[in-house]
Structure 1
Amino acid sequence: MNSKNLLTALAASSLLLISAPTFAQETREFSVSTVLSDAFPWGQAAVKWAELVEERSEGRMKLTIYPNAQLVSGDQTREFSAMRSGIIDMAVASTINWSPQVPELNLFSLPFLMPDEAAIDAITQGEAGQAIFEAIEKRGVIPLAWGENGFRELSNSRGAISQPADLKGLKVRVVGSPLFLDTFNTLGANPTQMSWADAQPALTTGAVDGQENPLSVFDVARIDQVGQKHLTLWRYMADPLVFGVNQRVWNSLSTEDQTLLKEAAIEAGAWEIAKSRAELVETLERIKERGVEVTELTPEQHAAFVDATESVYEKWVPRIGQDLFNKAKAAVDAR
């Protein structure tokens, strides 16, 4: 080899040595869908996950968050289908919104199944929670961890609610779930399914009397400003969140990156659950300071609502799965 060719070969080798590490560190970006922004604990869970993943992967993986169900044009009940088909890579999602495609998730919407946070944990961290994760995975999404949107409380513009009879004829905005319709119809209310964008003007004009949402949503979204001056703490159902990944995306990751992604999700979920629960007392105080009348049910009043919604179980437990329900109920009773 003459000197000119030798110099050319050495230059080429140097370029390869320089470019190889750069290529190895190329960032892979993934979309993450959420319904709420980081003004809410739900969105904060996604942000925490993204931060942990980017830090621990040293920039190799970047999770880009799309709040307000942007990737499905605001139709949050389409999120699971879009994720399964690959339109969405990942999500921090509501069990309610995924329940049309994963019937087992309706377990969490059964009225008054979970009276406290310990009951939520008993289900999600036990055999029932594992069975639900298996049901999600069978439908093309890999569940990694649990988060929490919290107990959904009832507000309205008409007056205090402390017994089932107080709901008679009450026009209540509910999310897009048939189980929610059955629960409120059973209680004598007049439930209406609508998006939150449509609900706000309906509440303002009085076309709708009430709504149900976690305290964090009531607080941050200032629901008291749309005529909701009466709030009942009845804890009729809770909404765990699921950190999930599209199956094809998951399979494209190395074992190391799968472990990293899952461990970061578990940590972010635990962080968000602890944070949101710790803030509940302060959140409720802010709501009261804005002039909202808060009704806390006595054990006897709570029991009356439980008795009034028994028929919902007769219809929905067979759809959810008797075995799954039995596992959940046993876990709650043993908590």
Structure 2
Amino acid sequence: MKKALSLLLVFMLLVSLMVGCSKPAEPTGDTAGGTEEKGNDFPTMTLRMSTTTAETSPWTKGAQKFAELVSERTDGKVTINVFPNEQLSNGNQPGGIEQLQNGVTDLSYHSTIIYSVLDPKYSVISMPWILPNNDEVDAALNGAPGEAIKQLTREKGIEPLAFGENGFRQVTNSKKAISSPQDMGGMKIRIPAMQMYTDLYKALGADPTVMNFAEVFTALQQGAIDGQENPLAIIVSSNLYEVQDYISLWNYSYDALILGMNKAKFDSLSPALQEVILEAAKEASAYQVQLNREEEAKNLQLLKDKGMTVTEFTDAEIEVFREKVAPVYEKYEDIIGKDLMDMFR
């Protein structure tokens, strides 16, 4: 009996050891508790990104850099197709932002000037001479003022990934050199759809005309308008020197870009993919800003070579323009809010 019991115990021990050896190994590392999104484990998706300007502009080159970085860091799983010249909105810049809000497009580079259609608070960045140079621009957008604009953007259903740059805006025309406010009297100047610009140009005695950017070249060519205002990079990449004779370098208004993503889309992504997109956006936007600034001198020389007459200003001459637009500050302090305005001053 004892011998039989001993044999039974040995048999049970052998069975136990065999079962133990055949048990599957516990998952470890990337496979534990589910699949981590690393490398080839990112989901395959295609996103659409809109820009307003031509393929050759720093604006669109920055978007293309962003697309390249995201593709590289997801092993080609996430593709971003870039559509320049506001193709997706048929040239309608405010419509492009609405598409981003509604999820018709996933990403965009849009100017804060166009964002002011959603909320006039965005006008603060472009108030006349509020940000007079690149050092003050960088300090503002990388600090508390920039964070205030980002929070405002999230409230509109858009996740602000990074700030880009369209740059300081200059005015061009086909009539005469502008060296004082009196020279602008009655001049029909195309402006983007921002009420602050309408008020500003009226204060300077001009006749401001809101028009989609896609229509500007033809309108200048046909004489429907006398002039327009834009940063040098846009003037060059859009060949506006072909239909304009004079440019005044007055750096009157800074134009920031927001690399934005539909917030619902962004929030639906895993934290790992969100991090990839955020880091790529920051790097691409830093590249875009650097490219824009490096091309300033080259663009100005090109305009001179194309025969444009360039007018530059002393601080005293700029002060005359600033005095003329003082009522604009008084009006927009109430609209934008004194606290936000003071953050940028």
Aligned to 1:232, the other structure's residue is in SS state strand
One-letter identity of the residue aligned with 1:53:
V
Q: Determine the structure 2 residue equivalent to 1:16.
A: none
One-letter identity of the residue aligned with 1:231:
I
Q: Determine the structure 1 residue equivalent to 2:307.
A: 291
Aligned to 1:112, the other structure's residue is in SS state coil
8 Å contact from structure 2 (residues 53, 234) kept in 1: no
**Match among 261, 266, 269 for residue 282 of structure 2:** 266
TM-score, scaled relative to structure 2:
0.86
8 Å contact from structure 2 (residues 191, 210) kept in 1: yes
Shift of 1:273: 0.6
One-letter identity of the residue aligned with 1:52:
L
**Match among 125, 147, 172 for residue 189 of structure 2:** 172
Tell me, yes or no, if structure 1 residue 142 matches structure 2 residue 159: yes
Q: Determine the structure 2 residue equivalent to 1:213.
A: 230
8 Å contact from structure 2 (residues 45, 78) kept in 1: yes
Mapped partners of 2:218, 2:88: distance in 1: 24
Aligned to 1:235, the other structure's residue is in SS state strand
**Match among 116, 131, 149 for residue 148 of structure 2:** 131
Q: Determine the structure 1 residue equivalent to 2:320.
A: 304
8 Å contact from structure 1 (residues 37, 44) kept in 2: no
8 Å contact from structure 2 (residues 54, 238) kept in 1: no
Q: Determine the structure 1 residue equivalent to 2:259.
A: 243
Which runs of 5 or more residues in structure 2 are unaligned? 1-34
8 Å contact from structure 2 (residues 91, 213) kept in 1: no
Mapped partners of 2:206, 2:47: distance in 1: 42
One-letter identity of the residue aligned with 1:208:
I
**Match among 87, 96, 101 for residue 118 of structure 2:** 101
**Match among 289, 294, 297 for residue 278 of structure 1:** 294
Shift of 1:49: 0.4
Q: How many residues align?
A: 309
Mapped partners of 1:46, 1:324: distance in 2: 29
Shift of 1:315: 1.2
Structure 1 residues 207 and 81 mapped into 2: Cα distance closer, same or farther (>3 Å)? closer
One-letter identity of the residue aligned with 1:283:
N
One-letter identity of the residue aligned with 1:103:
P
One-letter identity of the residue aligned with 1:230:
Y
Q: Determine the structure 2 residue equivalent to 1:252.
A: 268
Shift of 1:26: 5.0
Aligned to 2:64, the other structure's residue is in SS state helix
Moved over 4 A (4+): 23-26
Aligned to 1:238, the other structure's residue is in SS state strand
TM-score, scaled relative to structure 1:
0.89
Mapped partners of 1:102, 1:120: distance in 2: 21
Shift of 1:24: 4.5
One-letter identity of the residue aligned with 2:181:
P
